[in-house]
Structure 1
Amino acid sequence: MNASVNMPITRERIVNASWELLRECGIEQFTMRKLAKQLDIKAASLYWHFQSKQQIFQFLANEIAQKVVLSAQNEGDWKEQLYRFGNHFRNQLEKYPCSAHLMIQTVPSGAQYIDLINHMLKIVEPLPISDRRKFSSIACVLNFVLSFELDKYQQHKNDVAMKGVRQEIEPTVGNLPEPLRRMYLNGVFSDLGSDSMFQTGLKILIFGIEQLSMTEKET
């Protein structure tokens, strides 16, 4: 008999089991029925703590946001802070299964999620640009980090699905146009999803925000 049967069903146990289930089957296969089985309880017992799967996802997303903000560091000028925060945010996402999915599929209404957005806004607050552009700037950085992790997740799924048949669908090098052929031969495609590609993208965004602030200041 499972020892967990005699343990009280708490929100903490449900949250921990939810992380385990996400790690095992991914967000697409996550259901309240499977979560109840994970806890060895009836599905109806879950609804005393969470009204729906979406409410669980919302709680998990807020938990991630809280951990990101609490462990963030505020040192250096705005560019250094934003660059460090982007990397820190990504590092935190990598610690939790399907974390990017959870954050992008939930509404930023929880106090923790709002704190994350406000933390980013404080970084760009000194810039001589409008509030609309400040918000757009941090939204671009936020979406870049989340999208990068989503792409990595999908690429991993693709690699698993195409294992054993990849050679059959790989392009014929001789048929590739330049400069794509040169880059393919030089192994540039292997950078997809890499740390170096993430760093490059983040730097491009920060450089763009800097140029935007300089342009608006001049006008």
Structure 2
Amino acid sequence: MSPDHNSVRHDRDGVASAALALLDEVGLADLSMRRIAGRLDVQPSALYWHFQSKQELLAVLADRITAGIPRDDADVLTIARSIRDALFAYRDGAELVLSTYALRLGSSYAQTALEEALGGLPDAQDRATAILHFVLGHSTLVQQRMHADSHGAANTGDEIDVTAGLDLVFDLGVRALAGEVSAAASPPRDRV
């Protein structure tokens, strides 16, 4: 006989799994506690047995999204690409992780991985922060554009396509922030 279906679905892990699946279906704007409860066939108040607030649940989802980032002997560009790919793996994943990061919720797994990749640089923490900000911003911009394109809502006129040269622009930004790109040789300006 199989285990009671409800007992498997309603623990903390089950609620988070249902919420992550629902995020992919409806997006962050429509991911409500009521909708998650409906998916689990429980009252919304039942979710608060496992999570004190929706923000706590979103922090757990952000941690799940970034959990697969490599940390062992990976270079900073590989880690930054892994963070970006993890954000792109879920609908509105970049926006969700950005919002929880901005509120200082969840773990700092992504930043720690970047710091470790930057090795013994004296400003590794600051560089890791700058790179993470770039990755989150770049990924959010691209993900929103891709979402708009999928719904035919993007203006396709003469405007700049933010998805053109995606990897080139991304790699350049990460390398520059990591200190791997030198400034173009130009004569110093005299201060007037």
- TM-score bracket for the superposition, by shorter chain length: 0.7 to 0.9
* Residues 77 and 175, structure 2, Cα contact 8 Å, conserved in 1: yes
Matched residue of 2:78: which SS? helix
Looking at structure 2, the residues matched to 74 and 91 of structure 1 have their Cα atoms a distance apart, in angstroms, of 18
* Residues 115 and 128, structure 2, Cα contact 8 Å, conserved in 1: yes
Structure 1, 10-19 or 87-96: larger mean CA deviation? 87-96
Count, aligned residues: 177
Select which of 127, 130, 133 maps to 1:137: 127
Select which of 120, 135, 138 maps to 2:114: 120
Alignment of 1:99 onto 2:93? yes
Deviation at 1:146?
Answer: 1.1
Larger Rg: 1
TM-score by length of 2: 0.76
Who is 2:59 aligned against? 58
Which structure carries more helix by proportion? 1
Deviation at 1:20?
Answer: 1.4
* Residues 94 and 143, structure 2, Cα contact 8 Å, conserved in 1: no
Aligned-pair RMSD on alpha carbons?
3.0
Shift in alpha-carbon separation, 1:160–1:116, aligned structure 2, 3 A: closer
User: Percent identity among equivalent residues?
Assistant: 24
Matched residue of 1:67: which SS? coil
Provide structure 1 residue ranges, at least 5 long, that are not aligned to the other structure: 76-80, 172-183, 212-219
Who is 1:38 aligned against? 39
Paired residue type of 1:27? L
Looking at structure 1, the residues matched to 132 and 178 of structure 2 have their Cα atoms a distance apart, in angstroms, of 12
* Residues 148 and 193, structure 1, Cα contact 8 Å, conserved in 2: no
TM-score by length of 1: 0.68
Who is 1:153 aligned against? 143
Who is 2:173 aligned against? 201
Looking at structure 1, the residues matched to 104 and 182 of structure 2 have their Cα atoms a distance apart, in angstroms, of 26
Deviation at 1:22?
Answer: 0.7
Aligned 1:58-97 pairs, distance under 5 A: 58-68=59-69, 71-75=70-74, 81-97=75-91
Matched residue of 2:50: which SS? coil
Looking at structure 2, the residues matched to 6 and 86 of structure 1 have their Cα atoms a distance apart, in angstroms, of 39
Shift in alpha-carbon separation, 1:199–1:122, aligned structure 2, 3 A: closer
